[in-house]
Amino acid sequence: LATRMREAGVSPAARIEAGFRLATGRAPGTRERRLLEGALVRQEAYFRGDPQRARDYLASGGETGMSGDEAIELAALQSAASLILNLDETITRE
């Protein structure tokens, strides 16, 4: 999901919109978009403060060999994608 979000554009808004649509089949509401964009921006700042942590985070999922900026960007997107995929709306309950 994070890779597809990255391909959707360069702005956090475009990326969140794409990820949310892919996961839920609808556009995020204003409040949802604002919260998820904020989370994405915070995660990018977090990983930018410690690029090795971004590479370690990605390595836990099998992604290796990325440059600092690329790793930071993808780690932040993976974190945001995880938030989206853990929404009640995206989890099937029986």
What is the value of pTM for the model shown?
0.90
In the chain, which residues have pLDDT < 50?
Answer: none
Residues 29-46 have pLDDT tens digits of 999 999 999 999 999 999
Q: What is the DSSP string of the chain?
A: -HHHHHHT-SSHHHHHHHHHHHHHSSPPPHHHHHHHHHHHHHHHHHHHH-HHHHHHHHHTTT--S--HHHHHHHHHHHHHHHHHHTSGGGS---
